[in-house]
């Protein structure tokens, strides 16, 4: 493409942004947007993206998403056009303020602070960057909305990146940005971010499900037409102006359902929902119209009594309003119907940005979003967050579905599902939480670990003699509670932690061993703890003995042998240690695909216990602290954290040679009958010629569960075994134990 053609393309793309803005509801500040574009174009002149296209096309695309897909106005469009200027060029925030005023400069400054993704290379930097993001949110929500647009465009153009970068960015998007979009009510963007992340993490599964959706389209449309025709006819006869359409589940949602329910594509019955969007000029009439439509539909079809959701009387925390009901369709399957006004639909799709269009102010009552932002600020007040804990705690809040409970005075409290009486106590006040001993739920006495349901009335009971316990962590659901409890426990345990640290330092000094990360890691592995703090605490309060450690690891108790122990042993047998792979002599290049070799003579990686992958599985590599590649299944929850937290250490992998066998655990469920166990073992051992290493069977009345450990070549052999076992009369399901794998059939 010649420079003249490129310039014409840039101008045409910008005109597209401008035309969309001119036709929107916002005040017309065309001249300022034109100036911002000229400024950004000049600043980015000569710079190109990795794909080879002129860099200015990226800010133009971000401005277009912010304007036309989120619904933001001129200030945000200008900030989107200028969002990379301060970071990538010689211009400063002061230059932006001088040219475009204080508000646009503040937005650009906020976007520059959180540039380069939420995560850096170091764990502490991740926590700090995330704090910046959330603190900026509380200053001006538009910063995060523009950041969402930026991330969406980066995901749409992810194909030009290296495979390890694709893993990192897709993992980060699924881990933080998609749930954040959901929390902000940006449903369309959340769905697209999930689908794009899934496409790059599981390309084969994405392609297979997309093809199956395409193949089933004609049949699905016929069922929908049969279902919708009577409803359309009835609503038209009522004189309503409305739009009815089928809303298909996203590819990612279908895959998640297949994974969690362990069902093939053909058994995902709720592939689509019907959405009815009606026109209503008077907002006060919307609720009544929703229930009139509800009544009309339930006159036609049988209602599922437990699956009606009234999000009109109690909107979700992200502003979502609708009435959901589920009825029996003509093909015998349950179909969800969503009823919304045109205003509700815009807010559901575009989130808080749509509120401005309808001039819904916050002067009368504080919005739910700001309540949520205050909760996040409680977490930010913790002065010493462990970065990974910090991200996981936030994720609890981001992903949580809400329940609504009431105090005895009738005040409404929104909490995540699985919240307990103790969560309510902390929500009321941290001191009430610390002194909580029990609760009364709907006037019945319950323990503080009691899980709550929507609509419960909760009274908290306290005692001055109560003190917080470490085991409380196991039944807390809110990020705020976990953060506050962790801070109190840390303060109480600190003297013991300090004592344990001194004991370890003296123990190692006496044995002439330097205190290094490797030495501490070996001690942590031996004592089965996950953090240094936990190790020091156990040693400090006498739970474990260092003398026991030296005696266990050495034939003599002479501490002069300590250096030798640390050089050779780590609480394992020598034979076990020798069988572990040796780190490769050359440095691993994360930018290249790492070839996995697994045979009797060589294994250049380690398997992980968290997801138990097998040779042939879709896996990713992670370079651990010892410089060895450990493999994780792409569906592993731990892998999600690693991708989001340690991007530069992620490597794309490919199986090169697999000649050695490995152990796989399989679970088989079915209806018990005489001789079924014999049939199972004969098929596996004799027909498939697979060695069974262990077998355990439980029966409960007519149902049995069988757990097998078999020696197998690869994942394909396991899938083949499961398919054949399922053909035995009485077997209902067979699949890998401890790994989230879905077969698409």
3-state secondary structure labels for all residues of 485-536: HHHHHHHHHHHHHHHHHHHHHHHHHHCCCCCCHHHHHHHHHHHCCCCHHHHH
Nearest to 109 by CA among 73, 79, 135: 79
Q: How far apart are CA 286 and CA 321, in angstroms?
A: 11
Cβ density class 258-287: b for 16+ within 10 Å, e for less: beeebeebeebeebbbbbbbbebeeeeebb
DSSP annotation of 83 reads T
Catalytic annotation, pick one of 7, 87, 362, 543: 87
Q: How far apart are CA 127 and CA 147, in angstroms?
A: 18
Radius of gyration of the chain (CA): 29
- Backbone φ, ψ for residue 691 (5° rounding): -80, 130
- Assign residue 528 a region: left if phi > 0, alpha if psi is -120 to 50, beta otherwise? left
Record the tokens describing residue 136, joined without a space.
């900026």
Q: How far apart are CA 492 and CA 514, in angstroms?
A: 29
Q: How far apart are CA 435 and CA 460, in angstroms?
A: 10
State the DSSP H helix or E strand holding residue 197, giving kind and residue range, or none if neither: helix 187-201
3-state secondary structure labels for all residues of 87-139: HHCCCCHHHHHHHHCHHHHHHHHHHHHCCCCCCCCCHHHHHHHHHHHHHHHHH
**Residue 731 near residue 670 (C-beta atoms within 8 A):** yes
Hey, which bits of 329-422 come out as E strands? 334-341, 402-406, 412-416
Q: How far apart are CA 589 and CA 649, in angstroms?
A: 9
DSSP annotation of 583 reads P
**Count of CB atoms situated within 10 Å of the CB of 547:** 11
- By three-state DSSP, how is residue 462 classified? strand
Q: How far apart are CA 719 and CA 678, in angstroms?
A: 21
710 bridge partner residues: 664, 692
Q: What angle do CA 557, 561, 567 make, to 5 degrees?
A: 130
Catalytic annotation, pick one of 13, 53, 88, 336: 88
**Count of CB atoms situated within 10 Å of the CB of 628:** 18
Task: Give CA torsion, residues 498, 504, 508, 514, to 10 deg.
Answer: -60
- For the four alpha carbons of 594, 598, 604 and 610, in that order, the dihedral sign comes to positive
Q: How far apart are CA 319 and CA 291, in angstroms?
A: 19
Q: How far apart are CA 118 and CA 131, in angstroms?
A: 9
Q: Any catalytic annotation for residue 121?
A: no
**Residue 684 near residue 721 (C-beta atoms within 8 A):** yes
Cβ-Cβ contacts under 8 Å for 464 (sequence gap 6 or more)? 435
Q: Any catalytic annotation for residue 259?
A: no
Cβ-Cβ contacts under 8 Å for 137 (sequence gap 6 or more)? 143, 144, 373, 376
Q: How far apart are CA 539 and CA 500, in angstroms?
A: 5
* C-alpha 104 chain-centroid distance: 31
**Count of CB atoms situated within 10 Å of the CB of 78:** 28
The sheet with strand 594-598 has its strands ordered as 594-598, 650-658, 619-623, 629-633, 606-607
Give the catalytic positions in this structure.
Answer: 87-88
């Amino acid at each position: 493409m010649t420079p003249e053609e490129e310039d014409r393309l840039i101008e045409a793309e910008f005109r597209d942004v401008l035309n969309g803005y001119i036709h929107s509801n916002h005040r017309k500040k065309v001249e300022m947007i034109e100036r911002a574009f000229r400024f950004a174009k000049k600043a980015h002149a000569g710079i190109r993206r990795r794909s080879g296209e002129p860099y200015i096309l990226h800010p133009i695309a971000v401005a277009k998403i912010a304007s036309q897909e989120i619904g933001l106005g001129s200030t945000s469009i200008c900030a989107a056009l200028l969002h990379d200027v301060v970071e990538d060029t010689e211009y400063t925030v002061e230059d932006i303020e001088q040219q475009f005023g204080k508000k646009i400069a503040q937005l650009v400054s906020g976007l520059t602070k959180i540039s380069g993704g939420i995560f850096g290379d170091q764990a502490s930097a991740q926590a700090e960057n995330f704090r910046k993001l959330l603190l900026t949110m509380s200053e001006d929500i538009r910063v995060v909305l523009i950041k969402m647009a930026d991330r969406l465009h980066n995901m749409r153009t992810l194909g030009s990146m290296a495979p390890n970068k694709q893993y990192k960015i897709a993992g980060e998007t699924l881990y933080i940005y998609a749930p954040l979009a959901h929390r902000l009510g940006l449903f369309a963007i959340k769905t697209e971010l999930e689908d794009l992340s899934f496409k790059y993490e599981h390309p084969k599964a994405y392609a297979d499900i997309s093809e199956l959706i395409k193949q089933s389209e004609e049949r699905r449309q016929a069922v929908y037409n049969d279902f919708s025709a009577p409803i359309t006819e009835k609503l038209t006869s009522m004189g309503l102006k409305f739009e009815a359409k089928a809303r298909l589940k996203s590819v990612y949602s279908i895959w998640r359902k297949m994974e969690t329910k362990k069902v093939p594509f053909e058994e995902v019955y709720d592939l689509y929902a019907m959405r009815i969007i009606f026109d209503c000029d008077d907002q006060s009439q919307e609720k009544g119209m929703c229930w009139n439509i509800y009544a009309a539909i339930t006159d036609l079809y049988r209602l599922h009594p437990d699956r009606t959701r009234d999000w009109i009387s109690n909107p979700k925390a992200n502003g979502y309003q609708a009435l959901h009901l589920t009825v029996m369709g003509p093909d015998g399957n349950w179909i969800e119907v969503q009823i919304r006004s045109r205003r509700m639909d815009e807010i559901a799709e575009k989130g808080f940005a749509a509120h401005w269009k309808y001039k819904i102010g916050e002067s009368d009552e504080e919005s739910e979003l700001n309540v949520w932002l205050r909760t996040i600020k409680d977490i930010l007040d913790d002065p010493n967050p462990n970065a990974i804990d910090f991200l996981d705690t936030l994720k609890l809040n981001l992903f949580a579905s809400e329940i609504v409970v009431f105090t005895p005075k009738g005040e409404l409290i929104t909490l995540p599902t699985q919240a307990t009486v103790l969560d309510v106590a902390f929500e009321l006040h941290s001191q009430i939480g610390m002194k909580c001993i029990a609760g009364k739920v709907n006037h019945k006495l319950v323990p503080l670990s009691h899980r709550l349901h929507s609509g419960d009335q909760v009274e908290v009971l306290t005692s001055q003699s109560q003190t917080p316990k470490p085991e409380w962590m196991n039944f807390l659901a809110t990020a705020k509670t976990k953060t506050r409890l962790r801070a109190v426990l840390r303060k109480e345990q600190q003297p013991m932690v300090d004592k344990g640290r001194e004991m370890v330092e003296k123990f190692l000094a006496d044995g002439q061993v330097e205190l290094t990360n490797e030495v501490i890691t070996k001690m942590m592995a031996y004592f089965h703890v996950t953090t240094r703090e936990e190790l020091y605490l156990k040693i400090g309060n006498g739970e474990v003995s260092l003398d026991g450690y030296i005696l266990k690891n050495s034939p003599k108790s002479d501490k002069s042998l300590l250096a030798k122990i640390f050089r050779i042993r780590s609480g394992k047998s020598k034979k076990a240690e020798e069988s572990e792979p040796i780190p490769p002599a050359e440095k691993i290049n994360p930018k290249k695909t790492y070839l996995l070799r697994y045979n009797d003579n060589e294994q250049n990686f380690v398997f992980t216990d968290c997801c138990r992958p097998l040779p042939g599985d879709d896996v990713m590599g992670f370079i651990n602290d010892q410089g060895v590649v450990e493999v994780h299944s792409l569906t592993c929850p731990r892998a999600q954290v690693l991708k989001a937290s340690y991007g530069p250490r992620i490597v794309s992998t490919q199986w090169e040679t697999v000649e050695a066998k490995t152990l796989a655990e399989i679970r088989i469920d079915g209806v018990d009958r005489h001789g079924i166990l014999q049939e199972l073992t004969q098929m596996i051992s004799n027909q498939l010629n697979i060695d069974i290493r262990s077998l355990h069977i439980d029966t409960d009345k007519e149902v049995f569960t069988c757990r097998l450990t078999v020696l197998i070549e690869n994942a394909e052999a396991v899938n083949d075994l499961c398919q054949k076992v399922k053909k035995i009369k009485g077997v209902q399901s067979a699949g890998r134990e401890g790994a989230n794998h879905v077969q698409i059939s």
